[in-house]
Amino acid sequence: MCRNTLMYFNVEAQTQIVDRFHFALRENAFLFLCKAEMLLNDADRFDVISMRQRIFRRRPGGSTTPYQPAPLKLRPGGLGEMQSVARNRQLRDLILDASPGAALAVDAEGLVVLINNLARGQFGLTANDIGRPFRDLEISYRPVELRSLIDQATHERRTLRVNGAERRVGEDVQFFDILVQPLVGSSGLPAATSITFTDVTVATQLKAEVKRVREDLETAYEELQSTNEELETANEELQSSIEEL
């Protein structure tokens, strides 16, 4: 079991650590990681038992060459570096929570891996939803069917946009612009999908109000034109009556 550890090392150190795990574990032995840790580039050495729980199993076979462990390259200030990484992760989470739009991310296995503070508040999500299948959440199909959009964005490797998606909460109506963006890992394969929601309720309501006022003005103008035509007709009839007199 190695949880909440790998994420504090750089890529080179992580690779060496995973090499050691692969060497030390017997065939079909299990490796447990935390939700923030993955083995995206080790499918040839580890099978995924539960992506949600981050449980992997060492695959049978592998290299028959005796493993020569290389010393981990930790600088004298290694502890300080780990603290710096932890601080940077915390700052990243704070920045994400402070972003003006609701955001969440779904990994390649369809599991929720990130939910920012605004998304939790607007859509009733909690930290416990991290690690759950995205398809089990209401947000996956309301206000729009996001599951098919995620599949399309991942397959086509392009960002998709939905404008003015309507969401009803009781008697209230909200409108969102939704951005579905595939994220590609270092291996070049799809790693996750980012979904952001921009609340455009006020702008949408203002547009609707402007449209209504414009239509009212057009109707009033048409009525005024009709009234003018009637007045002209009445004036012509009056002139004709005067001439007859």
Q: In this predicted structure, which of 92-96, 174-178, 233-237 has the lowest mean pLDDT?
A: 92-96
Residues 17 and 80 in one domain: yes
Instruction: Quote the CA–CA distance of 122 and 199 in Å, as a whole number.
Output: 10
70, 37 Cβ separation under 8 angstroms: no
- Reported pTM: 0.57
Residues 33 and 88 in one domain: yes
pLDDT at 73 over 60: no
Residues 115 and 128 in one domain: yes
Residue with tokens 């009733």: 124
Q: End of a domain among 51, 69, 98?
A: 98
Collapsing DSSP to helix, strand or coil, 74 comes out as coil
Our separate counts of H helices and E strands in the chain read 5, 8
pLDDT value at residue 229? 87
Question: Nearest-5° angle of CA 182, CA 7, CA 115?
Answer: 45
Strand partners, 46: 58
> What confidence tens digit (pLDDT) does each residue in 97-135 have?
677 789 999 999 999 988 998 899 889 999 889 889 999
Residues 117 and 39 in one domain: no
CATH code of the domain covering residue 135: 3.30.450.20
pLDDT value at residue 40? 57
Residues 87 and 119 in one domain: no
In this prediction, what percent of the chain has a pLDDT beyond 90?
30
Residue range of the domain that includes 187: 100-199
Q: End of a domain among 98, 128, 154?
A: 98
> What confidence tens digit (pLDDT) does each residue in 36-63 have?
666 656 767 888 888 777 888 888 875 5
For 75, 200, 209, the CA distances from 12, given in Å and listed in that order, are 13, 44, 57
Residues 120 and 48 in one domain: no
How many domains are there within the chain? 3
> What confidence tens digit (pLDDT) does each residue in 12-22 have?
677 778 888 88
Instruction: Quote the CA–CA distance of 161 and 75 in Å, as a whole number.
Output: 45
- What is the full DSSP assignment across 21-41? HHHHSPTT-EEE--TT---TT
Structure tokens at 123: 């859509």
